[in-house]
Structure formats: C-alpha cells, structure tokens
Structure 1
Amino acid sequence: MNIREIEYITIPVSNLEVSLRFYHEVFDLQIVDLPNGDKGADMHKMLLDFHEEDKVDNPISFGLIAKDKMADIKAHLINYFVDIVSEPTEKTKVRRNVNSITILDPDKNRIEVNEFR
C-alpha cells in the first residue's frame, strides 16, 4: 500500500450552522455538499467533513498550513474573536522551520495553524 494524501478529516460539531460560518469566515473555506450527505469545506486536495452530533464529547486535533505571515494570522484570529490557546511558537517540524499558533473552534476542536518558512 502506498498512501500519498489524506482525502478527508471528519470534524465533530454540535451546531452545524455555527461551525460552517466559523470555518468559512475564519479560514475563508468554500462550503460544499459531500456525497455522504454531510456539509464540508473544500481545501482543494482534502475535505473537512462536518459531522453534526448532539454533543461533542471527543473533540479532535489537526493542523493547517497558512500562506500568511504569523502576525497577520494572529491579528485575523483576534478580529474574529477566536479562542487562542497557544501563542505563536517557533519550532522545527520535519526538517523545516515553522511558526505555529493553536486555536479552538466553537466545539473545542484544537487547530494548529502553521506558517512554514
């Protein structure tokens, strides 16, 4: 088996409309209808699949790569009143320098936004 990419990540959400607005407005993602009946966000090579649940008991964690500079990313997140749980931190990931900030979506799913340099 030769795996090359992730096709989708399922994100548990308790209020679909709130989550769709969050991911569309904060990350500027296009919302699409998925073949399984769920709503999702198109990230070109991958999809975010928003699966509505009565209550999100087990939030997930995932990372995103941004093309913006970290100062602009942080300012944008502050403008949208996004919960920042970890301030920008410089580190090395897989032989590359990265600046990361960690946030929470409305259901406390943990998202690391990375600026690779």
Structure 2
Amino acid sequence: MNIREIEYITIPVSNLEVSLRFYHEVFDLRIVDLPNGDKGADLRKMFLDFHLEDRVDHPISFGLIAKDSMAAIKAHLINYFVDIVDEPTTKTEVRRKVNSITILDPDQNRIEVNEFR
C-alpha cells in the first residue's frame, strides 16, 4: 500500500453554525456539503468534516499550513479574538524549520498553524 495524502479529518463540534462561522471567517475556508450529510471545509486536496455531537468530550489536534508570515498569522488571529494557547515558536520538523502558533476552536479542538520557512 502506498498512501500519499489524507482525504479528510473529522472534527467533533457541538454547535455547527458557530464552528462553520469560525472556520470560514478565521481561515477563509469554503464551506461545502459532504456526501455523508455532514458539512465540511474545502482545503483543496482534503476536507475538514464537521461532525455534530451533543457535547465534545474528546477534542482533537491537527495542524494547518499557512502561506502568510507568522507575524501576519498572529495579527489575524488577534483581530478575530481567537484563543492563542501557545505563542509562536520555531522548531525543526522532519525536513525543515517551521514557525508554529497553537489555537483552540470553539470546541477546544487544538489547531497548530504553521508557517514553513
């Protein structure tokens, strides 16, 4: 088997409208209807699948890659009053250096926003 990409990530959400607004406004993602009946966000090669739950007991963690500078990313998050849980840091990933900032969505799902250098 030769896996090349991730097709989707399922994100548990307790309030669909709040989550759709968050991901659309903060990340400028297009909201789409998925074949399974869920709403999703289009990331071109993959989807975020928003799965409605009564209550999110087990938030997930995932990373996104942004093309903006870290200074622009942080300013944008502050302008949208997003909870920043880890300030920007520089680290070495498998093949390159990356600047990362970690935030929480409305259901406490942890999102690392990365700027690769």
TM-score category, normalised to shorter length:
over 0.9
- Using structure 2 for the length normalisation, give the TM-score: 0.99
Query: Which residue identity does 2:4 align to in structure 1?
Result: R
Query: Which residue identity does 2:71 align to in structure 1?
Result: A
Q: Which contiguous aligned blocks of 4+ residues in structure 1 show a shift greater than 6 angstroms?
A: none
Q: Say whether residues 1:37 and 2:37 are aligned partners.
A: yes
Q: Which residue of 2 aligns with 1:22?
A: 22
Q: Which residue of 1 aligns with 2:84?
A: 84
* Identity of matched residues, %: 88
Distance (Å, rounded) in 2 between the aligned partners of 1:23 and 1:57: 20
Query: Which residue identity does 1:104 align to in structure 2?
Result: L
Q: Deviations over 1:9-64 (max 9, x none)?
A: 00000000000000000000000000000000000000000000000000000000
1:1-117 map, 5 Å: 1-117=1-117
Q: CA deviation at 1:95?
A: 1.8
- Structure 2 unaligned residues grouped into runs of 5+: none
- Using structure 1 for the length normalisation, give the TM-score: 0.99
Q: CA RMSD in A?
A: 0.3
Distance (Å, rounded) in 2 between the aligned partners of 1:63 and 1:50: 16
How many residues align structurally?
Answer: 117
- Structure 1 unaligned residues grouped into runs of 5+: none
Distance (Å, rounded) in 1 between the aligned partners of 2:105 and 2:41: 14
Query: Which residue identity does 1:113 align to in structure 2?
Result: V
